[in-house]
Structure 1
Amino acid sequence: MRDTIYALSSGHPPAGVAIIRISGPGVRFGLETVSGPIPEPRRVKLTDIRDASGCLLDQGLVVFFPGPHSFTGEDVAELQIHGSRASISAVLGALSGLPGFRPAEAGEFTRRAFEAGRIDLTAVEGLSDLIRAETESQRKQALGQANGGLRELYEGWATRLTYARAMIEADIDFSDEDDIPGSVADQIWPEVKHLIGEITDHLARARNGEIVRSGFRIALVGPPNVGKSSLLNCLAQRDVAIVSDVPGTTRDIIEVRLDIGGHLVVVMDTAGIRESEDQIELEGVRRSLMAADTADLVLELRNLYHPTEHPMDDSALPADRLVVWTKSDLVDSDVSNLPDGDIAVSSKTGRGVEMLIGCISNRLSNLDIGESDALPTRERHSLLLSDSIRELQIAVDQCDDPIEIRSEHLRNAAISLGEITGSVDVEQLLGVIFSEFCVGK
């Protein structure tokens, strides 16, 4: 018989309330042991919580969710008790003494829900992202995915491929029948071409989904002492990086996570770019250029007070970058004559910082998630979508191949879509995905 699992599902103690979740075939026995008669399904009951010997441990609320209409598809119960470490330890200790009960592993409740068909693999990933969501855009994207947005889209495409293959089978099986006009299979290829376009458009927005999930990365680059660390501290509104007049203070990448307009933004302070014989500093410069190459936006900082000091060869930087002139508080002249698109800021006074944030927000506006948007959020989604497009394109292009071969490419495309949702074998992925969860979820 399968084990009955239990775990603390709420936050770390101490807290006002702690929730202990139980799932498995022994839930009814466990409730009868620690809380008395089983309450009505999905109705909250206030009761004493006792151990197997009858010793009072706490008083709390008990909720029972009979399977299969529960999160895991099994019998599930939740004990809502006082959130002290002593109360939690006592109740967990009582459960550990029951036959067939054991502590849950990380993500085990969600894995049982997946195995019971309650949720698909994209919903599992969405649930994981929802737990970790830091910004409004992350919450919206993760919630849509957890609620089945991607599953509905991909299963819809798979259904259309199943229909196309059925038409091919009909053409093969009944080709000698007089009442079947022409080739049924020929009618499905325009639909397959249309499907290729839909998946391609969807895949083109994958980078947006990944940015929302992982963060919009901004690299601050420039020569030494141009004010990169000062600007990082100003944006973070706290002292994150060491600020010094000594050139080369920053040797490695320092990252700060910010919420700008409801989006996660990761700002990276980098080492000053210049010629040097110091091997450590040269490694810092290499990492700076790497950060600039992989960033979604590069802010190239220049010193407005000494514009010709420490000239930097910016040929290695991306063409799409924003030039930010620092230390504007040291300049008496008007800064309105800067080149179009350039911004002057002062990390000391805050001058121009709001304008800079506004420019960043304009870039982020392209990432806004609509209520009906469902975007790929992980690299595995993109790889499998690419596989599906490739198989479909082969099926369309190889007109001279036997129809059975072209149908096989359609089947391969459907398998790739199924691997995203977990409707086909993805056992090798499950351990990695569920290990992202905390214990109790």
Structure 2
Amino acid sequence: MDTIFAEATAPGKAGVSVVRLSGPRAFEAGSSLCGSLPPSHRAALRVLRDSNGEVLDTALVLAFDEGASFTGETVVELQCHGSRAVVAAILAALGRIDGLRPAGPGEFTRRALENDRLDLTQVEGLADLVEAETEFQRQQAQKVLSGDLSRKVLEWRRHLVEAAALIEATLDFADEDVPVDVTPDVLTHMDTVTAALQYEVNGFGASERIRDGFEIAILGAPNAGKSTLLNAIAKRDVALTSEIAGTTRDVIEVRADLKGVPVLFLDTAGLRETEDPLEAAGIARARDRAAEADLRVFLVGDGEDRPALAQDEDIVLVGKADQGQGDISGLTGQGVSDLIDRLTTILLGRVAKASTAIRERHAQAMQSALSDLSESRATLTEIGDSVLAAEYLRRAIVNLEMLIGRVDVDDLLGDIFSRFCIGK
């Protein structure tokens, strides 16, 4: 296997940058640059030199023995000064060493997967952690990376293996009298897993929203103050405002962090009847995005009824309080903090329902396992066919193994690792 290398920190100026090497020749290559490596897991200051003896930099050097590193291979990390020129010189020197090549996107993490240092759900958790922008995103990713979902899957698998073993035992003694009816024990194992999987599937929607962000659409008639409110929430001018009705034609998106909850606010075209084809297209798009959003904020005129589009937890406010009686004004800031507090309370309630199933792939595998368990239970209790019941159990086990990457995920890996940065 090749020895790979890459800058593990973000490119650009920094106080410190890290260059990582992993593979069978990592120690040899590291020694060629710094003379001698410190003992495994011990840091030491070394002068880095190229093959001509020219000083490249002074760096803190760490070495990790095979089986005791992130990738599971021998690894060397060079913590050098974060100059573009320094990093480029070190990478160039490494590139001239036989048997070394630059790492591809996510290749260090892929080797960690291949060497059983991480399973597939942990890889996905790591990818989410790298992308995390809010506290809840960090917490959720950290749980999956630490193996929370993996441990659950292994526990569910244990229950199903025991259930299958009990059924197989009855099949092995089919021609003899079995003194104990194992069906109650089998059903107990199956029901335990079914309840756990259903809980995870039910919480997937909230988990997915923590990953991608909750969408909140701001709706109302033209000139209701929607764009001004969005600017007040964003605390900068992100939307064009004008006295001319119909200024907003497309959906404007602004990301925000509400006490750790990731949110995407949507400023939409004013809702009205119009013969202008461009404005009509914007209104149609506004209605579609509003229907798909997790929550909606309606700005209405004083005395107007609750909009027909409004759902149970949606917020309806009288806008333009700066011009008279009203609840909120993006221009003066009146009521904006109260609105954000209300939105945050609603979203925190939804976040509390999140599960450790954080990706569509997880939910689909769990749904498939639930379907198999339902078929197995029905087959065992209604038909009495133990052979078919055991086969459905085996299928459920395979779906759980796919969840953590033990079987049939080769096509998925390329897509996952292509999203990683080079040094990860």
Taking structure 1 as the reference length, the TM-score comes to 0.92
Aligned equivalents of 1:391, 1:315: Cα separation in 2: 41
1:128, CA displacement in angstroms?
A: 0.7
Aligned equivalents of 1:140, 1:214: Cα separation in 2: 14
Tell me: CA distance 1:401–1:283, structure 2 relative to 1, closer, same or farther (3 Å).
farther
Aligned equivalents of 1:261, 1:235: Cα separation in 2: 14
Return the letter of the residue paired with 2:374: Q
1:338 corresponding residue in structure 2: none
Paired residues for 1:17-416 under 5 Å: 17-176=16-175, 180-304=178-302, 314-331=307-324, 333=325, 344-368=327-351, 374-398=355-379, 399-400=382-383, 402-416=385-399
1:190, CA displacement in angstroms?
A: 3.1
Q: Which stretches of structure 1, 4 residues or longer, exceed 2 Å deviation after superposition?
A: 174-178, 182-187, 313-320, 367-370
Aligned equivalents of 1:194, 1:104: Cα separation in 2: 44
Contact 1:392 1:410 in 2 (8 A): yes
1:255, CA displacement in angstroms?
A: 0.7
Aligned equivalents of 1:183, 1:176: Cα separation in 2: 15
1:369, CA displacement in angstroms?
A: 5.6
Contact 2:3 2:24 in 1 (8 A): yes
1:53, CA displacement in angstroms?
A: 2.0
Contact 2:203 2:355 in 1 (8 A): no
Out of 316-325 and 397-406, give the one that drifted further: 316-325
Return the letter of the residue paired with 2:52: S
1:230, CA displacement in angstroms?
A: 0.5
Aligned identity (percent) is 41
2:403 corresponding residue in structure 1: 420
Contact 1:138 1:213 in 2 (8 A): yes
Aligned equivalents of 1:170, 1:5: Cα separation in 2: 50
Aligned equivalents of 2:318, 2:250: Cα separation in 1: 23
Contact 2:225 2:329 in 1 (8 A): no
1:157, CA displacement in angstroms?
A: 0.4
Aligned equivalents of 1:385, 1:346: Cα separation in 2: 46
Aligned equivalents of 1:40, 1:177: Cα separation in 2: 63
Aligned equivalents of 2:355, 2:344: Cα separation in 1: 22
Q: Secondary structure at the match of 1:265?
A: strand
Contact 2:59 2:80 in 1 (8 A): yes
1:252, CA displacement in angstroms?
A: 1.0
Q: CA RMSD in A?
A: 1.8
Contact 1:21 1:78 in 2 (8 A): yes
Aligned equivalents of 1:85, 1:201: Cα separation in 2: 49
Gaps of 5+ in 2: none
Aligned equivalents of 1:264, 1:132: Cα separation in 2: 12
Q: Secondary structure at the match of 1:387?
A: helix
1:12, CA displacement in angstroms?
A: 2.1
Aligned length, in residue pairs: 422
Contact 1:292 1:318 in 2 (8 A): no
